[in-house]
Every structure is written in C-alpha cells, then in structure tokens.
C-alpha cells in the first residue's frame, strides 16, 4: 500500500492528529537533506514535504522563496535531490511528498519524475501550479501507474462543486490551504478562518485533509487539527532550520517549544 494511504488509514483508526513538515532541500546546506529527513522521522513527524527549489515559486512567501534561492546557489538540482533521497530509502519509513513547481517537473520529464520518486522512496507529489485538467489528462495516468499520489490544494475561494470534483478524482489527502495568500507564519486563525475549516469538515469528503499555510504556534496548530486529519508546517520550520544552521534536532526542539505557546 502507498505510504500516504497507509498513514491516513492508521490515523482514521487511532484518531491521532498528524503533523507534517516542509523543508526546502539544499537549504541551508547542500548535503543536509538526508539528515533532516531522518531526524524528523526520529522526532515523531508523520510525513515530510521535500521542497524542490525553484527560481519563481508563486505560492510561497519570502521565507520559502529565500530558502529556494539559497538551495539553488548551493547547487541543488532535482537529479541531485533524488540521489540524496535514494541513499536513505531503506532507512526512512514515513511518507515523503515531493513539493515542486510544474516547470521543474516537466523539464525533468513526468514519467522520469515518477520513476525517480519510486526509486528514491517518495510516495507522492504536490505541484501547486498544475492545472487540474492537465492533471487528469497527462499526470494522473502516469502517477497511477507508479502508485504515486498527486495531492491537490483547495483554498477558501474554491467552490463546493470544485472541491467535490477534486475529492472524486484524487487519492491520498487534500491539502487545505488556510487562506488564499502565500505561505508564511501567522499568529492566529480568526473566526472566519475557523468557520471555513468547520465548513469543509462538514462536507464529509472522501479524502482526509491536512491544513497548511500559516501554522506557527499552539493556537494555529490546534485550530487546524480540530477540523482536519492534521496540520502542515512550512515557513516556521524553514526559519528555525536556518537559524540553527541546519541542525534539525535543535530546530525540532525549538519548534516543539513554539507549538506549546
């Protein structure tokens, strides 16, 4: 079974809320990818989004944009990233989700990308700028053949009809963006945001949901977890990883401290 599906099947049975982290491969150090992933698994993280650096990340805020710039300057490429992941394939047992933009994936080649995901132990991908029609026509058939999950995003502006259409034609989980803005830490989710969370939760979708964008403290974490299978933290962890010069253990210590506040 695909590790993403396995994780959410276990979550459904236990009711335990999940925590997923994003980091940008190649930042702050070129060779730190393997250590970060192994440390996050050891520290109890349930799933990891491995960011593929790109020069024009439209959905990302300044923290992740800066991380991508650093990673590219460090010499990170998609080929090198897959080589790093392949080196720890037998040591990692939680789902790895490749997070990158369409230009990079298409330049690499979608079939080659899927094959490399399998070879390196990745279970799925998030491509924020992939049009849904192109996903259905060109990407889904190939990804299905490799038993990979293509995760789609929804926002507060996504209509109910669109959400149900996405739910009907995807598998794994739905990435529920907390707002229509770019990524970045926020101090709190207001009542309107929480109404949105509750509304989507009440739709009884087939796929589980993970809420991301803006989660950076106890209030935002609990707000997300109350109305979804779990939460995704990106910018806050990227910031802490940079502040600790790539020391993932220390970054995790600081993250867990922040999430208690």
Active site residues: 49, 60
DSSP letters along 180-227, please?
SS-S---S---HHHHHHHHHHHTT--SS-EEEESS--SHHHHHHHHHT
Residue 24 three-state SS: strand
Give the CA radius of gyration of the chain: 17
Classify 149 in phi/psi space as left (phi over 0), alpha (psi -120 to 50) or beta: beta
Q: How many CB atoms within 10 Å of residue 162?
A: 12
């Amino acid at each position: 079974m695909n590790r993403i599906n396995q994780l959410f099947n276990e979550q459904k049975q236990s009711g335990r809320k999940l925590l997923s982290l994003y980091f940008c491969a190649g930042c702050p150090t070129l060779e730190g990818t393997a250590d970060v992933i192994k440390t996050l698994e050891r520290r109890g993280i349930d799933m990891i989004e491995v960011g593929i650096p790109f020069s024009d990340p439209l959905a990302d805020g300044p923290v992740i944009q800066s991380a991508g710039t650093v990673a590219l300057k460090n010499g990170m490429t998609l080929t090198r990233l897959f080589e790093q992941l392949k080196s720890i394939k037998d040591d990692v047992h939680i789902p790895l989700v490749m997070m990158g933009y369409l230009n990079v994936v298409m330049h690499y080649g979608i079939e080659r990308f899927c094959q490399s995901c399998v070879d390196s132990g990745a279970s799925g991908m998030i491509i924020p700028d992939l049009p849904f029609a192109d996903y259905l026509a060109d990407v889904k058939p190939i990804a299905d053949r490799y038993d990979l999950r293509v995760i789609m995003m929804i926002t507060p502006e996504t209509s109910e009809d669109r959400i149900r259409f996405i739910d009907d034609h995807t598998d794994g989980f739905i990435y529920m963006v907390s707002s229509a803005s770019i990524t970045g830490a926020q101090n709190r989710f207001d009542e309107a945001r929480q109404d949105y969370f509750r509304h989507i939760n009440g739709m009884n979708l087939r796929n589980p949901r993970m809420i991301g964008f803006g989660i950076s403290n106890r209030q935002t974490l609990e707000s997300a977890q109350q109305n979804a299978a779990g939460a995704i933290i990106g910018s806050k962890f990227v910031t802490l990883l940079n502040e600790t010069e790539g020391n993932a253990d220390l970054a995790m210590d600081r993250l867990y401290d922040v999430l208690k506040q």
